[in-house]
Amino acid sequence: MFVRRAFGLVMLLALGCAPPPAPERARSVSPPIHSAVASVSVVPSPSPSPLVAEVIAPPKPAAVSVTEAERVLFLGQTPADVTTACGAVTPDEERIRCLIGRRYDGDQVAVKLALDLYARSGDVAGLQKPEMFDGGYRGMIELVPELPTGKFRQHLAWVEEGTRDFDTVYSALKGHYRWRALTLRFFRSVKRTTPNGFARDWSYAYNVSGSLLHSATAVRELMVHEIFHLNDETHGDWSSKTLAKIQAEVIKKCGKSTTCLAPYAPNDTIVKGGTYYAFHADNGPWEYAAELAVRHFNEQRTALRKEKVQKPFKCGPAPNGTAWKLFVDEFWSGVDLVPPCP
């Protein structure tokens, strides 16, 4: 489990110190989450992402086991009829498909989304266990399992759509990076809209009531952010060892001034009432790095679409180029689809 970073963009740290206010997207004009959830009659098409590239097959990571799949789907309370129907099914992949079908039974659109997600990426979409979540200055927040069906189905559709982009972009980069075969754990925060999501142990938890999760883009970017944290840890906490000096130098130069920080900010996430998330005083280099991962993904995605990348991060003021190269070399074997700076 992540201690410093498990709660990603919502910065709900479990260290006993009060975290800063939740971030908000600068220049965001999207409707709040309740209006998005209220209009989910149209589910995004599961057709492949319109990216233009010849890509290699994604690497095949260790698959989610039957035991873990059943645990995330039924939280240790598998109904007897499901055990009877799926218990003897072989091989493991078919048994997991059986379990997914039974879990989402009653919402055939959600069944198809969950099965398509598993067939393509190896991800198993299930439930986060109930817990009282330490929200720091927000107090304790009750999290309850919430299957992404019915009025919450749109969230599953956005996740499935986002993982298609992951496959296309990340496969093209041939890096040392894992984004597949995750357990996805859906939940709802009672009378609250945070945390939006958090990652631990190759599992991503998703809040169907999250304040930031109101569009396919927002969902995709939060997942990119959180999946980076998982990879960062497996690379020996690379961000802490490599980007701390860069982050500190920028903060020393600009302080909390958003005007000064803007050219150095990898992404446009701004803490409500504060400054850029990547440079907030309470955030370590791992958050600067996760925001860099989002910027990197978006730029590579644009390049694969054969579109011009506007204001490439690496072409901004120093030390942007240095941070970019360190990131690309560590996780993507030096592969960068964005053209060199003029």
Beta-bridge partner residues of 189:
143
Residue 117, burial from CB neighbour count under 10 angstroms (0-12, 13-18, 19+) = buried
Confidence at residue 61, expressed as pLDDT on a 0 to 100 scale: 52
**Backbone φ, ψ for residue 259 (5° rounding):** -65, -45
Beta-bridge partner residues of 197:
206
Q: What is the DSSP letter of 145?
A: E
Q: What is the DSSP letter of 32?
A: P
Q: Taking CA 70 as the corner, what is the angle to CA 64 and CA 72, rounded to the nearest 5 degrees?
A: 80
CA 190 – CA 235 distance, rounded (Å): 35
Residue type, 340: P
First vs last Cα of the chain: how many Å apart?
43
Cα 31 to chain centroid distance, Å, stands at: 20
Confidence at residue 37, expressed as pLDDT on a 0 to 100 scale: 26
pLDDT tens digits, the chain, 342 residues: what are they?
333 443 444 443 332 333 444 444 433 222 222 222 222 233 333 344 444 333 334 445 569 999 999 999 999 999 999 999 999 999 999 999 999 999 999 999 999 999 999 999 999 999 999 999 987 777 899 999 999 999 999 999 999 999 999 999 999 998 889 999 999 999 999 999 999 999 999 999 999 999 999 999 999 999 999 999 999 999 999 999 999 999 999 999 999 999 999 999 999 999 888 899 999 988 999 999 999 999 999 999 999 999 999 999 999 999 999 999 999 999 999 999 999 999
CA 271 – CA 280 distance, rounded (Å): 8
Q: Which two tokens stand for residue 305?
A: 């679409």
Element (H, E) at 126: strand 124-127
**Closest Cα partner for 121 from 33, 53, 58, 29?**
58
Check if the beta carbon of residue 151 is closer than 8 Å to that of residue 90: no
CA 145 – CA 147 distance, rounded (Å): 7
Check if the beta carbon of residue 212 is closer than 8 Å to that of residue 218: yes
pTM of the model: 0.83
User: How many residues are there in the chain?
Assistant: 342
Q: Domain spans of the chain?
A: 31-208
Q: Is 133 helix (H, G, I), strand (E, B) or coil?
A: strand
Confidence at residue 272, expressed as pLDDT on a 0 to 100 scale: 81
**Contacts with 29 (C-beta within 8 Å, 6 or more apart), sequence order:** none
Confidence at residue 31, expressed as pLDDT on a 0 to 100 scale: 25
CA 100 – CA 272 distance, rounded (Å): 39
**Backbone φ, ψ for residue 232 (5° rounding):** -60, -40
Confidence at residue 138, expressed as pLDDT on a 0 to 100 scale: 79
**Closest Cα partner for 244 from 297, 294, 289?**
289
